[in-house]
Chain A
Amino acid sequence: MSDKQIAGLAGRIIHDEIVPARAPWIHEVKAGQTLRIVDLEGNQAVDFLMYAVQDDTERYSAQDTLAAQRNIFLRKGAVLLSNEARPMMTITDTNVDYHDTIGGACSCESNTLRYGHHTKSHHSCVDNFLDANASAGRNKRDMVSNINFFMNVPVEADGTLGIVDGISAPGLMVDLRAEMDVVVVVSNCPQINNPCNGFNPTPVRMVVAG
């Protein structure tokens, strides 16, 4: 039986893993390889950071990426830039209209502001990032604004901004081609207080090919 979720990926499958709902994930993707993220059950925010393997003080920069493309949405063709304005990855394909990089990651601390102090105990993306990064010697100083694949953060004409219902669906995906050797750190978002996951975190599939 053919696996539609990996159809079209060039080269051999190097890594194929289901990341459970709420879990972190860390993995290297070498220049030229493609990482495919599959939103298995739909509307699951995948919080995403990356660092240059050669020197991890070079890392994803949401602001450089936004300024260069003059648009807040990440669409097919978007080049994801580092804090040195160098291409780290390119969105070579996606069947979701756009992805977010202005909303940042949920944290225990920001949850207390957004939803109340009773949510401090909830698991969060920043905790996942810290957990995964700690295994590579990185810590809170290494946290920067991230990408939220499959998350929808529009800005209204009056300036109102917020996370709203997703525009993804079961089986939709995004392909990222590495332009340099990168280490990708993901939090498969555990947030249950806003619509980023349809109030129900679900697993995602990470496939590296090349």
Chain B
Amino acid sequence: MTSATDNVHAARDHARIMAGTKVEAMPIVPASASDVDGDVLWEETVEAGGYTSRRLGRGSRLRLVDLHGDSCASMLIFNAECPTERLNVADTLKVQWTAYLGTGKLLLSDMGRVMMSILEDEAGTHDAFCGASNESSNARLYGDGKNYGSHSNARDRFKLAVSKYGLGRKDIHPCINWFKGVEIAENGSIEPNTGPFQAGRSVVLRAEMDLIVIFANCPHVLDSRADYSVTPLRLTAWRGDVTPDDDPIRNATPEGLRAYLNTEDYFRR
């Protein structure tokens, strides 16, 4: 009996005929996006349970879209040229005297610098406290949590992503979960708000340094639904100017301004 792939020529033809297939979750190469102005650098839709990473230049804008209202965009950030510098969630909250992230807030590194700023936030439900799901939490909730299964967890997604930059488990730092919210009650209780939400909510970030950004898109660790509930996440980046001296976000608070001054000092070269 013969098959369509019983010799190398037929196997090659069979493989090549798949080219051009379009699915919802995939990178677009070369990057293009009809719904943003400017020079598009990155366009990718991350599947439910998936992950991705990217190097972004200083000044780049990065838009996150919760396409169907149930994304959980868990994010790590590294200084691309010196990845021992990374997002510090504790400093990000403490320095800005806030428990919650939103428009105008900064994402700070552990070296006293601003890594990203939040230009637009139409979601308002984010979480800087609960971190990533892990294999045991997913196994408890869904029966399994391994990367090769259908219930992947955010921490192990991070592990794969950071490995591609020569980084390892010890580089996985506390993360931010975009689109899934928590509120902190007076007694310290964490009240999760994991949706689902209206489709199409977005956040736009500005890279203030040359960065490696890492995303996992897995259910929030406190999502109470019995099913593994998460939907695709769209990421779009485009070229932009480095933040000017008169930028209102740069000048909004004395602490934030000093973070910008430290970043600008770092790039004085």
Evaluate whether A85 and B136 lie within 8 angstroms (CB atoms) in the complex, with A66-B190, A67-B130 already known. yes
Residue B131 is within 8 A (CB to CB) of chain A in the complex: yes
Residue A28 is within 8 A (CB to CB) of chain B in the complex: no
Find out whether the CB atom of B131 lies under 8 angstroms from the CB atom of A161: no
Q: Of the candidates A102, A105, A114, A160, which one forms a contact with B129 in the assembled complex, judged by CB atoms under 8 Å apart? A: A102
Find out whether the CB atom of A83 lies under 8 angstroms from the CB atom of B84: no
B9 smallest CB distance to A (angstroms): 48
Identify the stretch in B25-33, B39-47, B181-189, B209-217 within 8 Å (CB) of chain A at 4 or more residues.
B181-189
Residue A122 is within 8 A (CB to CB) of chain B in the complex: no
Residue ID in chain B nearest A103 by CB atoms: B94
Find out whether the CB atom of B94 lies under 8 angstroms from the CB atom of A72: no
Find out whether the CB atom of A161 lies under 8 angstroms from the CB atom of B262: no
Mask, A138-159, CB within 8 Å of B = 1, is: 0111111100000001110101
Contacts of B108 in A (CB 8 A): 110, 113
Find out whether the CB atom of B129 lies under 8 angstroms from the CB atom of A63: yes
How far apart sit A155 and B175, CA to CA, in the bound complex (Å)? 19
Find out whether the CB atom of A67 lies under 8 angstroms from the CB atom of B131: yes
Evaluate whether A66 and B130 lie within 8 angstroms (CB atoms) in the complex, with A71-B188, A113-B255, A159-B99 already known. yes
Residue B132 is within 8 A (CB to CB) of chain A in the complex: yes
Find out whether the CB atom of A113 lies under 8 angstroms from the CB atom of B262: yes
Find out whether the CB atom of A155 lies under 8 angstroms from the CB atom of B99: yes
Find out whether the CB atom of A72 lies under 8 angstroms from the CB atom of B134: no
Mask, A86-125, CB within 8 Å of B = 1, is: 1000000000001000111101111111101100000000
Find out whether the CB atom of A83 lies under 8 angstroms from the CB atom of B155: yes
Find out whether the CB atom of A83 lies under 8 angstroms from the CB atom of B129: no
How far apart sit A145 and B90, CA to CA, in the bound complex (Å)? 7
Contacts of A163 in B (CB 8 A): 94
Q: Of the candidates A57, A110, A116, A157, which one forms a contact with B91 in the assembled complex, judged by CB atoms under 8 Å apart? A: A110
How far apart sit A58 and B89, CA to CA, in the bound complex (Å)? 19
A96 smallest CB distance to B (angstroms): 14
Residue B267 is within 8 A (CB to CB) of chain A in the complex: no
Residue ID in chain B nearest A56 by CB atoms: B170
Q: Of the candidates A73, A86, A117, A161, which one forms a contact with B94 in the assembled complex, judged by CB atoms under 8 Å apart? A: A161
Q: Of the candidates A102, A112, A140, which one forms a contact with B262 in the assembled complex, judged by CB atoms under 8 Å apart? A: A112
**Chain A CB within 10 Å, residue with most, of B112, B136, B187:** B112
Residue B258 is within 8 A (CB to CB) of chain A in the complex: yes
How far apart sit A160 and B132, CA to CA, in the bound complex (Å)? 24
Contacts of A113 in B (CB 8 A): 91, 95, 108, 112, 255-256, 258-259, 262
Contacts of B170 in A (CB 8 A): 56-57, 59, 141-142
Find out whether the CB atom of B99 lies under 8 angstroms from the CB atom of A145: no
**Chain B CB within 10 Å, residue with most, of A67, A85, A141, A142:** A67
Find out whether the CB atom of B184 lies under 8 angstroms from the CB atom of A160: no
Find out whether the CB atom of A66 lies under 8 angstroms from the CB atom of B110: no
A40 smallest CB distance to B (angstroms): 26
Contacts of A85 in B (CB 8 A): 134-137
Q: Of the candidates A71, A102, A162, which one forms a contact with B189 in the assembled complex, judged by CB atoms under 8 Å apart? A: A71
Q: Given A102-B94, A145-B89, A161-B98, 9 more contacts at CB 8 Å?
A: A64-B134, A70-B189, A83-B134, A104-B88, A109-B262, A111-B112, A114-B255, A141-B170, A155-B184
Enumerate chain B interface residues (CB-CB to A < 8 A).
84, 88-91, 93-95, 97-100, 108, 110-113, 129-132, 134-137, 155, 168-175, 184, 186-190, 192, 221-222, 255-256, 258-259, 262
Enumerate chain A interface residues (CB-CB to B < 8 A).
56-57, 59, 61-64, 66-67, 70-73, 83-86, 98, 102-105, 107-114, 116-117, 126, 139-145, 153-155, 157, 159-163
Q: What would be 14 A-B contacts, judged by CB atoms less than 8 Å apart?
A: A63-B89, A64-B134, A66-B129, A67-B190, A102-B129, A109-B112, A110-B88, A113-B112, A114-B255, A145-B88, A160-B97, A161-B93, A161-B97, A161-B98
